């Protein structure tokens, strides 16, 4: 049994951060594992602390190195992440007095001996006293270094974005990656309407607005408590992610294959757009992740989803010997650089060379699953990234080897409000700095009759 001190938001946050850094855990899973038994208020604080530290970790480490006699690279994981939590509370989180931020952080390392406690206390007090004198790289002399540190993104990402978009746009893109993402839900139109659910949530005390692009999207803020993550009337899903199923536009009564289905957001959206008719075959390599798909389908009362555990890059044995589909979705694994505001740990674990590895896998997936598209059918390729290696390059390489497929203009399928997120080539492309939603890419391809 944990003591009250151990069973606190800050203790949970520290343990989660250590699991992310030392154990390679994903932030959401590490945090959920450490928050069992916490009150709603403590869960909210632990979540804010973990995601705040991960968003700002590069800048926080720069600050620690400026005031610590021991470099961050040499500090033990627990001590380093305790310091990060302290700096985040001192400099980035309003409402916590400096004295409390320092003392609570020292308490986190209370069992590490007097020297460690003294070290943490001294570093945080120096940072607090000289917070207005912290020196950063100069924008004019070192734009990559300045943007990387001040806006807390790895140098390789900043360099790529400056080369492609220019320094000012790269800065805005990094700023967008630091923002708290809105709570966006997809209304389950099988059981209610967007208007009816909006009225209901408003009556409960939430502020509700309609999404800009998806006709099923509601953006919810405020309210008496956090929205229930599992609910029959809606599914938590960013608006950019919702556009992928809308781009597929699956036919009611049709046969649809989702080749990389877990955790089920796009799978259930496809089934919903088909009015619960036809069949969506959801494929994923992980049986445990497929359980999340099945659970989402049960919760949303969708009975037209069949799950298959298989590798979509290889041979797939499908139910009933099905060979061809009206629509195939390839929501391929990617670097995730379009969703950094939602999963900030991604930028800390990715390397530039990951782009080539992911692109090779993506090409294998789309090439293999394309064989399942019937003549006249539709193939949709999507990733939560806007990096060329994972987006247009993959589609172009695929089309070079598969002349029976042609690009269809996404503007002809998506709602009229989506005109601004479709480029000249007919591809779907969203960015958080430009559109206020996650960064996604989508291509709709038609197989000739």
pLDDT of residue 327: 99
Residue among 260, 327, 384, 418 flagged as catalytic: 384
The answer to whether position 98 is within a domain reads yes
The answer to whether position 214 is within a domain reads no
What dihedral angle (degrees, nearest 10) is formed by the CA atoms of 217, 52, 92, 144?
-90
Whether residue 148 sits in one domain with residue 20:
no
pLDDT of residue 319: 79
What angle is formed at CA 408 by the lines to CA 403 and CA 411, rounded to 5 degrees?
165
Q: Name the stretches of the chain with pLDDT < 50.
A: 1-7
Whether omega for the bond prior to residue 310 falls within 30 degrees of 0, making it cis, is: no
pLDDT of residue 3: 39
Our answer to whether residue 384 is catalytic in this structure is yes
CATH of the domain at 25: 1.10.940.10
Specify which residues 408 forms β-bridges with.
444
Burial class (CB in 10 A: 0-12, 13-18, 19+), 176: buried
First to last CA, the chain: 65
Number of domains in the chain: 3
The first and second tokens of residue 319, run together, are 């139910």
Whether residue 372 sits in one domain with residue 344:
yes
pLDDT of residue 6: 41
Which residue range(s) make up the domain with 161? Answer: 143-178
394-449 tens-digit pLDDT: 999 999 999 999 999 999 999 999 999 999 999 999 999 999 999 999 999 999 99
Whether residue 426 sits in one domain with residue 373:
yes
């Amino acid at each position: 049994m944990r003591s009250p001190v151990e069973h606190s938001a800050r203790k949970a946050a520290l343990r989660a951060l250590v699991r992310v850094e030392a154990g390679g855990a994903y932030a959401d899973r590490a945090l959920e594992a450490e928050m069992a038994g916490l009150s709603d208020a403590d869960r909210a604080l632990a979540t804010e602390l973990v995601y705040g530290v991960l968003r700002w970790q590069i800048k926080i480490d720069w600050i620690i190195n400026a005031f610590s006699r021991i470099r961050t690279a040499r500090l033990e994981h627990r001590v380093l992440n305790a310091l990060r939590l302290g700096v985040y509370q001192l400099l980035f989180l309003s409402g916590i007095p400096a004295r409390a931020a320092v003392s609570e952080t020292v308490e986190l390392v209370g069992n590490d001996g007097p020297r460690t406690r003294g070290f943490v206390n001294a570093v945080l007090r120096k940072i607090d006293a000289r917070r207005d004198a912290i020196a950063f790289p100069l924008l004019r002399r070192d734009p990559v270094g300045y943007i990387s540190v001040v806006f807390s993104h790895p140098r390789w990402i900043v360099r790529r974005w400056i080369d492609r978009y220019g320094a000012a746009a790269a800065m805005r893109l990094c700023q967008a990656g630091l923002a708290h993402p809105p709570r966006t839900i997809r209304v389950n139109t099988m059981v209610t309407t967007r208007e009816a659910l909006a009225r209901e949530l408003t009556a409960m005390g939430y502020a509700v607005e309609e999404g800009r692009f998806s006709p099923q999207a509601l953006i919810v803020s405020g309210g008496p408590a956090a929205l229930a993550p599992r609910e029959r009337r809606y599914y938590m899903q960013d608006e950019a992610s919702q556009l992928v199923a809308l781009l597929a536009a699956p036919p009611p009564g049709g046969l649809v294959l989702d080749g990389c289905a877990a955790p089920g957001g796009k799978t259930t959206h496809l089934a919903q757009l088909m009015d619960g008719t036809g069949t969506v075959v959801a494929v994923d390599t992980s049986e445990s992740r497929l359980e999340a798909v099945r659970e989402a389908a049960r919760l949303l009362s969708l009975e037209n989803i069949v799950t298959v555990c298989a590798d979509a890059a290889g041979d797939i044995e499908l139910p009933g010997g099905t060979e061809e589909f009206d629509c195939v979705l390839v929501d391929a694994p990617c670097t995730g650089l379009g969703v950094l505001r939602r999963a900030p740990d991604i930028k800390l674990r990715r390397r530039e060379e990951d782009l080539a590895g992911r692109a090779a896998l993506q090409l294998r997936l789309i090439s293999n699953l394309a064989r399942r598209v019937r003549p006249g059918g539709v193939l949709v390729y999507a990733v939560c990234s806007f990096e060329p290696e994972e987006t247009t390059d993959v589609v172009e390489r695929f089309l070079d080897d598969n002349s029976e497929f042609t690009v269809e203009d996404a503007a002809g399928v998506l709602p009229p409000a989506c005109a601004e997120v479709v480029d000249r080539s007919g591809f779907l492309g969203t960015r958080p700095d430009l559109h206020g939603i996650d960064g996604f890419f989508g291509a709709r391809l038609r197989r000739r009759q």
